[in-house]
Amino acid sequence: MPIFLTSLLLGSRYRPWRLRLAIILYLLVLILGSVPGARLKLGELASGGVLHSLTYGVITLLLFTGLKYARLRNAALAVLTVIFMGALDEYVQSFFPYRSATVHDWLVDIAAAAITAAALYKWWPQRTDA
């Protein structure tokens, strides 16, 4: 199992799939966040800060491991992408009367991405297949 997980997260074979999965996860965030009452139901499981942190942390992980550049560039691109994604997410929320866009949520997204990318940069092994 560890060999499969290593291949899934590090191998070049699955790199495009990780990028696709990051995009699919983000689209799910946008779609499910637009469903009336869905956010309230999720709020019963975890707070907004926890949901934002986990979601954008996972997206950062998928982007970081899905990109084919050096670790520093992957980290920077993943964070910049999440900055844009989080801003667009909050912008979309502003169109729904039952949702509200907040700068605080966007900052949580950015912090989660920055912390995740910094940890990945520090501890993730340098790929030799890039």
Tens-digit pLDDT profile for residues 91-100: 999 998 888 8
Which tokens go with 94?
């502003």
Which tokens go with 6?
């290593």
Is 130 inside a domain boundary?
no
Containing structural domain, residue 98: 2-123
Choose among 33, 43, 42, 17: nearest CA to 100. 33
What is the count of structural domains for the chain? 1
pTM score:
0.87
The tens digit of pLDDT for each residue in 19-69 reads 999 999 999 999 988 888 777 777 777 777 899 999 999 999 999 999 999
Is 59 inside a domain boundary?
yes
Is 129 inside a domain boundary?
no
Is 73 inside a domain boundary?
yes
User: Would you give the DSSP letter of residue 95?
Assistant: T
Is 76 inside a domain boundary?
yes
Choose among 80, 98, 117, 86: nearest CA to 39. 98
